[in-house]
Copies of this chain bind each other. A is one copy, B any other.
Amino acid sequence: MADVARRADVSIKTVSRVVNDEPGVRPQTASKVRAIIEELGFHRHEGASMLRKGRSTSIGLIVEDLGNPWYSQLAASMEREARSRNHFLISTSAEGSPEREAELVDALVARRVEGLVVVPASSDASEAIRSAAEEMPVVCVDRPLAGLVADTVLSDNEGGVRSAVEHLVAHRHRRIGFLGDDEVIWTAQRRQAAFLASYDLLGLPGEPLTRLGPYADGEVAALLDRWGQGRDGITAVITSNNRVTMQVIAAQRVCGLDLVVVGYDDFELADFLEPPVTCVHQDPASLGERAIQQLFARLDGELGDPRTHVIPTRLIVRGSARRRPASRRA
């Protein structure tokens, strides 16, 4: 555009007016500008705009697995929000691999995205992501990154787990287990810590029973079966995400266990299981919206220290705790 203006000996504003069919340009000036545009093969398409600005108008998203409903809701809400600002979202799956994530970061940066939203595959920032953050805004979602100063959007892990424990205790459960996802996942660690803190604070009896994955085939069933034995056996279990909830539900069917389950993450059909499953709803759509809004705030020139947004959770009580109170078993 500057080149066209120089050649036509007019201001950039004038070129812009011609391109956008705005008034205020004399006909012969407009013709001249158009001829030069024609000559230079300048088209008003995104490619040209990208070269001018050195940026495309897309945002890159890296999650673990787009096929997982939690991530697809996150991506769908981000896509909607980005679109309302005329940006496309390029969504990719790192499949839990830090190496794959680094490759994707590099490829998206080469692709000139305007910014990156990442659900980190590991707790330490890779070289790729640190170098990306020097060129463009990066927002972490669901998990923070050590070694990277970046805006971060998290679920209220402490509040969510505490609401689950308090709900069960209010319904007279005293022995409650906790099963988390893979131990390398930050939220699994964090929710386990929140569980232990609540257990302590409420003065629940005995050693708290917790485990993080990964789990071998049949391991969840065996574990729950063991934890449920005897007078001191657990009567309820809290999970750290929907993947573990599914494993617990499957384990219960296989072994005929009779435990109350409270799942972190809500899921479709939680209402229709027998008994219905109470869930900590953490609203992936809100996390996605907040992340992309924060990204656009930086693109719009927001300065200052990185922000951490904590999105509240909501306990959706489906009556599962009331159905089989601990008192019946004690």
Using A67-B72, A69-B72, A72-B66 as known contacts, say yes or no to A112 and B273 having CB atoms under 8 A apart. no
Complex: chain B residue closest to A45, CB-CB: B110
- Chain A, range 57-72, C-beta contacts under 8 Å to B: 57-58, 65-69, 71-72
On whether the beta carbons of B73 and A67 are closer than 8 Å, the reply is yes
Assess whether B69 is in contact with A69, with CB atoms less than 8 Å apart. Answer: yes
- A80 contacts which chain B residues (CB < 8 A)? 93
* C-alpha gap A51/B80 in the complex (Å): 28
| Contact digits for A62-91, partner B, Cβ 8 Å, 1 yes 0 no | 000111110111011101100100001111
Contacts A48-B51, A273-B273 given; does A107 touch B88 at CB 8 Å: yes
Choose among A48, A51, A83, A273 the residue with the greatest number of B CB atoms under 10 Å from its CB: A51
Docked CA distance A215–B92 (Å): 35
A299 at the interface (CB under 8 A from B): no
- Chain A interface: which size bin? 35 or more
Binds B, one of A125-133, A162-170, A173-181, A246-254: A246-254
Inter-chain CA distance A171–B316, complex, in Å, is 39
A16 to B66, alpha carbons, bound, how many Å?
36
| A54 interfacial by beta-carbon distance below 8 Å | yes
Distance in angstroms between the alpha carbons of A91 and B40 in the assembled complex: 33
**Nearest Cβ in chain B — how far from A81, in angstroms?**
12
Minimum CB distance partner of A104 in chain B: B83
Report chain B residues within 8 Å CB of A124. Answer: none
Query: What's the Cα separation between A274 and B269 when bound, in Å?
Result: 12
Minimal Cβ-Cβ distance residue in B for A39:
B3
Of B51, B76, B250, the residue contacting A67 (CB under 8 A) is B76
Tell yes or no: A50 within 8 A of B by CB.
yes
The answer to whether B45 and A112 have CB atoms under 8 Å apart is yes
Q: Is the CB of B41 within 8 A of A3?
A: yes
A226 interfacial contact with B, CB 8 Å: no
Contacts of A285 in B (CB 8 A): 67
Residues of B near A253 (CB, < 8 A) are 271-272
Are A88 and B67 in contact, CB atoms less than 8 angstroms apart? no
Offer 20 A-B interface pairs, CB within 8 angstroms, sorted by A.
Answer: A41-B52, A43-B51, A43-B54, A45-B54, A46-B110, A58-B90, A66-B76, A67-B76, A67-B77, A72-B75, A76-B93, A79-B92, A88-B111, A89-B90, A89-B91, A89-B92, A246-B268, A253-B271, A272-B273, A273-B274
Extra pairs beyond A41-B51, A69-B268, A80-B93 (18, CB < 8 Å)? A3-B40, A46-B111, A47-B50, A56-B111, A58-B90, A58-B111, A66-B76, A66-B79, A72-B75, A83-B92, A88-B92, A88-B108, A89-B91, A246-B268, A249-B272, A253-B271, A267-B268, A269-B269
